[in-house]
């Protein structure tokens, strides 16, 4: 080998090493900004539903959380998502109907945001099928945040901090697609799975329940009398269906029929999760039922016999829960509370 070719080879090797080092540094920096966010999946839960085009990363969740709590997304900058979905109420609130901007009331009770990564339809009527697109409704509704999407994006584009956060999370400037994805990312992290029920049922701790809670548990799951689990099943205590629970003889709010236009869907609403139900009063789609005891009275009396009423609400069968049954069922429902979830600082502003 000549001396000249030796030098060429040497220089080439050095150049290649430098290029490799540079590539490594750039890719490391890039990867750091896209650090995966690892969900803590409770024992017994199936894998969550996460869209391939919105994988969870630390930066996306961070951005989503900031947006969730930021009043910049309402037309008069007075409310945020958290105004109606507060962590202390299991991301619901304690009002029948939540007021939007200028205290204008909507028409439905604020739903708890729990374990949304296991849900396949959103809102009381299930009108939207992705957590990402769900963001549009509260943002733009005149009775909620009353915000034009283009105005929201304009505000975010004029905010230096958001410009940086969007760039880190989605490598783009603020736009509707990334805005929706970021909020959905944060909402997917709201996981509740450490209640007394979880300790008893999934973690096999036989001492988790007291006697009343255990009796309530058997009534809830038992086939002979109540069988609430006909609808409130699965890890989220919802079979994700739409049911008419006989609350009214005539419904002002047509529920699922608003989406399908079908008479057979009048008065049907999504079966809500029961997790943390002790924190989410008042209940039902319109917040018309104040307490868990009132819920027991409703199901015990079998409702109004609406023509779409679910067979599971025992219409006309005179269920007649005893006072002890009601007390035990309420005890069981209270045992679905997950203090760790309610107090989790990661979820708070």
Partner 1 sequence: MIHLRLLLVFIGLFPVTCFAQKRTTAVKVIEQSNVVLDFTPVVDGKPFFLDSVYTSPGGDRYKITNWKFFVSNIALSSSLGKEHAAFSETKPAVLLIDFSKANHQILQVDIGEYTDIRLDVGLPRQINHTDPTSALPPLDLAQQDMYWEWNSGYIFLLIEGQLLHDQKDRFHFAIGGDNKIMPFAHGNLFNVVPLIKVEKGKTTTLRFTFDFNKLLKNGDGSNYSLTAEKARIVHGGYFADVLSMNAKQAMEFKKVEMR
| 257 belongs to the binding site for partner 1 (CB under 8 A) | yes
Pick the binder of partner 1 from 39, 128, 163, 208 (CB under 8 A): 128
Among 184-192, 211-219, 254-262, 340-348, the segment contacting partner 1 (CB under 8 A): 254-262
| 143 belongs to the binding site for partner 1 (CB under 8 A) | no
**87 CB contacts (<8 Å, ≥6 apart)?**
342, 344, 347, 348
Residues 119 and 102: their CA atoms lie apart, in Å, by 31
In the complex, the smallest distance separating the C-beta of residue 35 from partner 1, rounded to whole angstroms, is: 24
Q: Which of 296, 291, 292 is nearest to 319 (CA)?
A: 296
| 132 belongs to the binding site for partner 1 (CB under 8 A) | yes
Pick 86 or 153: Cβ nearer partner 1: 153
* Cα of 100 vs its chain's centroid, Å: 19
Pick the binder of partner 1 from 47, 160, 250, 261 (CB under 8 A): 261
Residues 139 and 81: their CA atoms lie apart, in Å, by 8
Residues 297 and 130: their CA atoms lie apart, in Å, by 35
Pick the binder of partner 1 from 95, 199, 258, 327 (CB under 8 A): 258
Pick 60 or 215: Cβ nearer partner 1: 60
Pick 178 or 333: Cβ nearer partner 1: 178
| 229 belongs to the binding site for partner 1 (CB under 8 A) | no
Beta pairing partners, 319: none
| 4 belongs to the binding site for partner 1 (CB under 8 A) | no
Phi, psi of 128 (to 5 degrees): -120, 135
Q: With beta carbons less than 8 A apart as the criterion, state whether 219 and 226 touch.
A: yes
| 136 belongs to the binding site for partner 1 (CB under 8 A) | yes
Phi, psi of 122 (to 5 degrees): -130, 155
| 338 belongs to the binding site for partner 1 (CB under 8 A) | no
Residue 56 in tokens = 């969870």
Pick the binder of partner 1 from 50, 58, 149, 342 (CB under 8 A): 149
| 304 belongs to the binding site for partner 1 (CB under 8 A) | no
# residues contacting partner 1 (CB under 8 A): 25
Residues 67 and 180: their CA atoms lie apart, in Å, by 10
Residue 202 in tokens = 């999934």
State which of positions 66-125 bind partner 1 (CB under 8 A): 123, 125
Distance from the first to the final alpha carbon of the chain: 68
In the complex, the smallest distance separating the C-beta of residue 196 from partner 1, rounded to whole angstroms, is: 36
The residues that touch partner 1, with contacts defined as CB under 8 A, are: 123, 125, 127-129, 132-133, 136-137, 139-141, 148-150, 175-177, 179-180, 257-261
């Amino acid at each position: 080998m000549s001396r000249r070719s030796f030098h060429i080879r040497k220089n080439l090797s050095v150049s290649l090493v430098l290029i490799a080092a540079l590539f490594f540094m750039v890719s490391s920096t890039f990867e750091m900004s896209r650090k995966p966010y690892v969900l803590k999946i409770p024992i017994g839960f199936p894998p969550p539903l996460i869209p391939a085009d919105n994988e969870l990363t630390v930066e996306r969740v961070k951005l989503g959380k900031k947006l969730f709590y930021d009043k910049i997304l309402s037309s008069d900058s007075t409310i945020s998502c958290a105004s109606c979905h507060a962590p202390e109420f299991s991301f619901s609130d304690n009002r029948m109907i939540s007021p939007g901007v200028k205290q204008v009331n909507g028409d439905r009770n604020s739903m708890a945001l729990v374990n949304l990564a296991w849900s396949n339809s959103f809102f009381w009527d299930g009108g939207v099928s992705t957590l990402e697109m769900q963001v549009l409704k509260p943002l733009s509704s005149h009775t909620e945040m009353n915000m034009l999407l283009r105005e929201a994006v304009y505000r975010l584009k004029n905010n230096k901090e958001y410009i940086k956060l969007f760039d880190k999370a989605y490598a783009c400037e603020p736009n509707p697609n990334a805005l929706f994805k970021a909020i959905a990312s944060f909402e997917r992290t709201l996981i509740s799975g450490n209640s007394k029920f979880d300790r008893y049922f999934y973690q096999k701790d036989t001492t988790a329940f007291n006697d009343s809670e255990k009796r309530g548990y058997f009534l809830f799951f038992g086939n002979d009398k109540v069988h609430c689990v006909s609808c409130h099943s699965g890890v989220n205590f919802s079979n994700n269906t739409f049911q008419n629970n006989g609350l009214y003889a005539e419904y002002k709010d047509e529920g699922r029929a608003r989406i399908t236009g079908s008479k057979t869907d009048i008065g049907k609403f999504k079966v809500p999760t029961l997790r943390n139900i002790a924190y989410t009063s008042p209940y039902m789609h319109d917040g018309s039922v104040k307490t868990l005891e009132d819920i027991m009275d409703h199901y015990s009396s079998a409702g109004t016999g609406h023509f779409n009423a679910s067979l599971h609400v025992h219409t006309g069968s005179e269920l007649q829960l005893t006072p002890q049954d009601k007390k035990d069922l309420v005890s069981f429902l209270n045992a679905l509370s997950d203090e760790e979830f309610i107090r989790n600082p990661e979820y708070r502003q």
